[in-house]
Chain A
Amino acid sequence: MNPKIEVNDLNLWFGRVHILQDIDIIIPANQVTAVIGPSGSGKSSLLRCFDRTNELITRTKTTGHIVIDGRDLAFEDPLDLRSRVGMIFQQPASLPGSIYENVAVGPRLFGIRDRRKLDVIVEESLTRAALFNELKDRLKKSAGALSGGQKQRMAIARALALNPEVLLFDEATSALDPISTQRVEDLIDKLKSTTTIIMVSHNMQQAARVSDHTLFMNVEEDGAARVVEFGPTDKIFTNPEDEKTERYITGRFG
């Protein structure tokens, strides 16, 4: 198991509010790590630490380190970092314009203008997102007409167009129907051969099905979120060490 992301003693504050406390984890490369925990337990905030988008929203303070492939995020150009770490949201955004434009938006932001290059990137990304065959005849049509599930896979293709090393899924299937959810899960399974995936999920079955490792987070009395337990998914779901973990995954709290 190769480590991809090392989180050392991470603390995060929004203004004066302590959000994450003493996070110490190692995310393995080319595997799926699920982040579970009750609402408000800092799962999304942790996810946003990996592409440094927390700092866009509020005044944040961070201590500790996040290291990806030996490089400390704090010293990286955040824009460059975000191109290497893709984020998939709960509500997929279909931007104005065609499906093609939607997928090409990332490469264009980073200055790729050559039409042939873009054509290749768009086709490859849509193929990787298992969407190309479905949509190849209507790439120039508006993306607004796609179904929710298609939009979500298009959003994945959009992230893939930048060829990211890490993909973050922030409750990416909680607005989708079961069949679309199944497709996204299959996709995640395929994508882990090339990327490291971290997914926040409220769906215990999903976390158990899809992930290799599971991180259970919880909020303590003082309001800051901590890691309760982190380990192989099998172990977390069958034989958790912490009593809180067991109560959470069996649905008795949270």
Chain B
Amino acid sequence: MRRRVYDRIVQIILVAIASMMTLFLIYLVGYIIGSGIRGFSFGFLTRAPSGITQTGGVWPMIASSIYLIGLTLLIAVPLGVGGGIYLAEYAGQGRIVETIRFAVDILSSVPSIVFGLFGLALFVQFLGLKYSMLSGAMTLTLMVLPLLLKISEESFRAVPVTYREASLALGATKDQTIFRIILPTALPAVFTGVLLSAGRAFGETAAVLYTAGLSPTTPVFPLDGGRTLSTHLYLLATTGKIEESFKVAMVLLVVILVFNVLSNVVISRFRRRFIKEAR
């Protein structure tokens, strides 16, 4: 009897903690959207900010964010997926590979502002790329690469060994097996890694602040500077324009929520498929 009471108490406590978390999340999202929606109009998304206060619109920021993410993925995806293929299929085992893995793990725990500082020194100043989309994208690439590399490698490893056997037994070469059989199978999982990276890049502030600049203009060329949504928010909040900040925060939040839902859908599809395969 006592054990059952004890069991019940633990259960109640756990449920309470979980509901508190959920309530807090709902409150947070509700608060931001509630504060942001005041005075929000669709025009806010399509207008440029104006005047000395830099308020009234976020179109250049949306453009900069999309530009920056696009450019980052353009650089990071080939590197990350290529590296993942290498680690999973070609590298085998040994000191060098262990060192690479260790370095990747360390890299993933470096604070983003350090990446920003590094990008400032290397890309902006030393390589003379100025505060630009390209500097920002390369910095963000360094930042999301560990994540992308790890997810790609794991996705390749998760492909059932029977696929490999079947392909090789048909007379496929190793390259054919990897690119025609394993890559297509692993693609949905790799795609979730890409989405997660994009989400991280989208929300990143510190690394972008030092490398892509703050110019509130719409970037056209890779060497143009720009101000992303998150750096815009940072700037507004630190200069006391709280009402405007919440509008921007709302836009950011909605986009990130959409990102997360999207990647969850992909992950669950992928899982379901593999469970079916395994049976």
Residues of A whose CB lies within 8 Å of any CB of B are: 51, 53, 56, 78-83, 86-87, 89, 91-97, 105-106, 108-110, 144-145, 155, 158-159, 162
Question: Do A53 and B162 touch (CB < 8 A)?
Answer: no
Query: Given A144-B276, A144-B277, do A82 and B169 touch, yes or no (CB 8 Å)?
Result: yes
B175 to chain A, nearest CB (A): 11
B241 interface contact, C-beta 8 A:
no
Question: Would you give the 0/1 interface string for B165-192, flagging 1 where the beta carbon is closer than 8 Å to chain A?
Answer: 1111111110010001100110000000
Question: Do B169 and A53 touch (CB < 8 A)?
Answer: yes
B163 interface contact, C-beta 8 A:
yes
Q: In whole angstroms, what is the CA distance A87 to B163 when docked?
A: 13
Q: What residues of B have a CB within 8 angstroms of the CB of A91 in the complex?
A: 162
Q: In whole angstroms, what is the CA distance A92 to B168 when docked?
A: 14
Question: Do B170 and A105 touch (CB < 8 A)?
Answer: yes
Residues of B whose CB lies within 8 Å of any CB of A are: 160, 162-163, 165-173, 176, 180-181, 184-185, 273, 276-277
Query: Given A89-B162, A109-B180, do A94 and B169 touch, yes or no (CB 8 Å)?
Result: no
Total cross-chain contacts (CB, 8 A): 67
A51's partner among B169, B180, B181, B185 (CB-CB below 8 A) is B169
> Please, which residue of chain B has its CB at the minimum distance from the CB of A87?
B169
Query: Given A93-B165, A95-B181, A144-B273, do A79 and B160 touch, yes or no (CB 8 Å)?
Result: no
Question: Do A106 and B171 touch (CB < 8 A)?
Answer: yes
Query: Given A91-B162, A97-B184, do A158 and B170 touch, yes or no (CB 8 Å)?
Result: yes
A162's partner among B165, B168, B170 (CB-CB below 8 A) is B170
B119 to chain A, nearest CB (A): 38
Query: Given A155-B166, A158-B166, do A80 and B171 touch, yes or no (CB 8 Å)?
Result: yes
Q: In whole angstroms, what is the CA distance A53 to B169 when docked?
A: 7
